[in-house]
Structure 1
Amino acid sequence: MSFLSRYKFSLSSQELVLMLITMVWGGTFLAVHHAMTVSGPFFFVGLRFATAALLLALVARKSLRGLTLAECRAGAAIGVAISGGYGLQTWGMQTIESSQSAFITALYVPLVPLLQWLFLRRMPGVMAWVGIVLAFSGLMLLAGPKSGSLSFSAGETATLLSTLAIAGEIILISASAGKVDVKRVTVVQLAAASLFSFMLMVPNGEAVPASSPYLWYSALGLGAASALIQVTMNWAQRSVSPTRATVIYAGEPVWAGIVGRVAGERLPGVALLGGALIVAGVLISELKLKKRAKRPSPAERQS
C-alpha cells in the first residue's frame, strides 16, 4: 500500500468557501496600504467597519429584532479583538509594504492551535500539526520579503502584536459558533469594532482626515469585503475547526504577495519558497489518516 493511499483528501463546501474568502482577504492589504496616504489608521478602520456594519444591518434588518444579550456579549468581545487586530495591522502599514504586512500578520497561524489547546481544551490532530509546522516555516521565510529575515521596526512590531488579537478573534468566533445567530452577531461585532477603533483615535492623536474620493471608495469597498469575510468566517467555523480554518487562512499572504507583485512589489526567491511551503501546509492539513480495518483473529476466521 502506497503512502498516499493511506490518506483521504476531503474538502467540505465550508472549507472551499473559506479558501475563496482568503483570496479576497489577501487582496485587501494593498488597498489599505494606499488608504494610509489619505487617512489615519484607526479612523480608517473605524470607517471601514462602520460601513460594513451598516451594509450588513440593512441586509439582516429583520433578523436583528431577535438580538439577544448573549449575542451582544459575543459580538462585542469579537469586535474588540477585530479592532485590535486590524487597527495595529493598519497602523503598521504606514511604514511597511502591504505584502510584508500580510506575511507578518499570518504568523498568527501557530498561535491558534496553542490558544485553542489552552482555552478550549481541543487538541489539534497530527496532520493539522504537520501542516502548521510547514506553514510556520514558510512564514518565517516570507516574513521579510526583501531581506529574508525579520527586522523589528515599529511597523513590524505593531503588526506582530496584531497577530495575537487576530488569533483571539478566531478562537472567540469558534467558541460562540453554533450558539448564536450568524447575521446578528456579525452586525454587533462589526459595530463594536468600528466604535472601539474610533475610540483609539484619541490615544493615537489622530484627527478626522479631509474628505477625498479615494477615502470613501476604499472604505465602501473594504467595508463590503469585511462584511462578507466576517459573515463567512462565522458561518463556516460552525463546522470547520479553528486549526483547519487557520491553516486555510495561511494562504492569505500568498494572495497578498501576488497582488503586491502585480502592483510593483517584488519578492525574492526565498519568499517564493515560503509561499510554496504555506500551500503545502494547507494541503497536508486537509489530509485525514484512514483507520486500518481490524484484522480478524485466527479463532474468528475459523468460526
Structure 2
Amino acid sequence: MTRRTPEFVVDVLLVAVAAVWGASFLTAKELTTDMGVAPAVALRFIVAAIALGVICAVKRERMPRGRGLAIAALLGCSQSAVIGLETAGVHLTSATNAGLLISLALIFTPVLESLAARSWLPRSYFVAAAVSVVGVALLVSGGGLRTPTVGDALVVAAAAVRAVHVTASARLSRGRSDSTLAVVLVQLVVCAATSCAVAGADLPPAVAGLSASGWVDALFLGLLCSVFAFVVQLWAVRRTSATRASILMGTEPVWAVLVGVLIGGEAIGAAGFAGAALIIAAGYAGQAIERRHRRAAGEDVLQPVPVRRDESRVRNGPGVRSRV
C-alpha cells in the first residue's frame, strides 16, 4: 500500500531546511569563534545523535541492517565531510563568499544526477541554474568578491561533496523500507564518531568552557540544522529528484541574508533585492523544467516509498515525524 505525498508538502519542508541552514552560517561562525572548528562540529553531532537516539528509542524504531546499514553509514561519512568542510570554510572566509560558493551545489547536483541516470536535463534547466547562481552573486557579493582564500576552497569542496551526498541519498535510499529516523540516526552516529576523532583531546576542555550562548548555538545546530534538516532531506529526496531538492535547498543564501538583516543588523541594497528575485524566479523555472522533463520521460515526479501494511499508518503521516 502506498500513498502519494502532496508535492507542496515536499517543497515546503525542503525550503524549511534551506531556512535553518541559512541561519546556520551566523550560528556556526559564532560557535567556532567560541570553541574552534573541530570541537564545534563534534559537539553539534553529539547533540544531534543523542536527541535523535532518544526519539528512536521512544518510537522503537527498527535500525537498518545489512545493505541498509552500509548505505546509512556511507551517507554519514559524506554528510560529515559536507559539514566539516563547510564549517571550516565559513570560519576562514567571509559570509559573502561562503554564501555564494556553497550555491555551486546547484550546478554540481544536476550534472551528477544526469550522469548517474544517463539522461541529461534540457539546456533550459542549466540556464535556470546559472541564473540562480547569478542571483546569489548579486545577493551576497556586496562590494565585490575578494581574492580567493583557503576558506573559499573549502566551501567549494563542501558544495561538491554536498552534491554527491544529495545525489547518493536519492539513488541509494529510494525504494527502501528502512525507517528514515533510524537511517539518519546511523548517519549522525557516524558523523559524531568521525568528528570526535578529528577534535581529539581539544573537545573536553572546549565543551567545559562553553558559554550559555555557545550552548544555544550548539543546540540550534544539533537539533534544527542536523536532526530536523537531515531527516527532512532524506525523507524528501525519496519522493522527488536530487535536482529538484537542490533547487529548493539552493534558496539557503536568501535565508542567510534575511537572518543577517533581521538579527545581525546587516543591510542589502538594490542589487541584493534583485538577486533574491532572480533566485526565486530561477527556482520556480527550474522546478517546472525538471518536472516537465521527468514526465516526458515517463517518470513519476514524486515516487512514494513502498511500505508494509502494518506500518502504513505511521509511515505516511505528515511532516518529519512520519517513518518512511
Q: Structure 2 CA distance, aligned partners of 1:269 and 1:160?
A: 27
**Bigger radius of gyration among the two:** 1
* Number of the residue aligned with 2:112: 115
* Number of the residue aligned with 1:301: none
Deviates more, 1:56-65 or 1:82-91: 56-65
Shift, 1:289, TM fit: 4.8
Deviation string, structure 1 residues 14-41 (Cα, Å, up to 9, x no partner): 1122122222221121111111221111
Structure 1 residues 207 and 45 mapped into 2: Cα distance closer, same or farther (>3 Å)?
A: closer
* Number of the residue aligned with 1:49: 45
Deviation string, structure 1 residues 153-199 (Cα, Å, up to 9, x no partner): 12212111111111111012101233232111100111111222222
Q: 4+ residue stretches of structure 1 with deviation over 6 A?
A: none
Task: Report the residue type matching 2:283 in the other structure.
Answer: V
Tell me, yes or no, if the aligned pair for 2:104 and 2:160 is still in contact at 8 Å.
no
* Number of the residue aligned with 2:152: 156
Q: Structure 2 CA distance, aligned partners of 1:119 and 1:196?
A: 28
Counterpart of 1:21 (choices 3, 7, 17) is 17
Counterpart of 2:76 (choices 79, 82, 93) is 79
* Number of the residue aligned with 1:282: 283
Shift, 1:125, TM fit: 4.9
Tell me, yes or no, if the aligned pair for 1:63 and 1:183 is still in contact at 8 Å.
no
Matches within 5 A, 1:139-288: 139-142=136-139, 145-149=141-145, 151-175=147-171, 176-179=173-176, 180-201=178-199, 208=204, 209=206, 210-225=209-224, 226-262=226-262, 263-287=264-288
Helix, strand or coil at the partner of 1:286: helix
Shift, 1:11, TM fit: 4.7
Shift, 1:229, TM fit: 0.5
Tell me, yes or no, if the aligned pair for 1:251 and 1:278 is still in contact at 8 Å.
yes
Structure 1 unaligned residues grouped into runs of 5+: 1-9, 293-303
RMSD (CA atoms): 2.6
Structure 1 residues 201 and 66 mapped into 2: Cα distance closer, same or farther (>3 Å)?
A: closer
Q: Structure 2 CA distance, aligned partners of 1:127 and 1:113?
A: 12
Tell me, yes or no, if the aligned pair for 2:15 and 2:249 is still in contact at 8 Å.
yes
Q: Structure 2 CA distance, aligned partners of 1:71 and 1:121?
A: 25
Q: Structure 2 CA distance, aligned partners of 1:198 and 1:246?
A: 29
TM-score (norm 2): 0.78
Q: Structure 2 CA distance, aligned partners of 1:105 and 1:155?
A: 12
* Number of the residue aligned with 2:67: 70
Q: Structure 1 CA distance, aligned partners of 2:108 and 2:160?
A: 7
Structure 1 residues 140 and 98 mapped into 2: Cα distance closer, same or farther (>3 Å)?
A: closer
Tell me, yes or no, if the aligned pair for 1:128 and 1:243 is still in contact at 8 Å.
no
Tell me, yes or no, if the aligned pair for 1:50 and 1:194 is still in contact at 8 Å.
yes
Q: How many residues align?
A: 280
TM-score (norm 1): 0.83
* Number of the residue aligned with 1:299: none
Counterpart of 2:36 (choices 35, 40, 43) is 40
Task: Report the residue type matching 1:157 in the other structure.
Answer: A
Deviates more, 1:64-73 or 1:46-55: 64-73
Task: Report the residue type matching 2:82 in the other structure.
Answer: G
Greater percentage in helix: 2
Structure 1 residues 275 and 86 mapped into 2: Cα distance closer, same or farther (>3 Å)?
A: same
Shift, 1:134, TM fit: 1.8
Tell me if 1:135 matches 2:132: yes
Structure 2 unaligned residues grouped into runs of 5+: 1-5, 297-324
Tell me if 1:60 matches 2:33: no
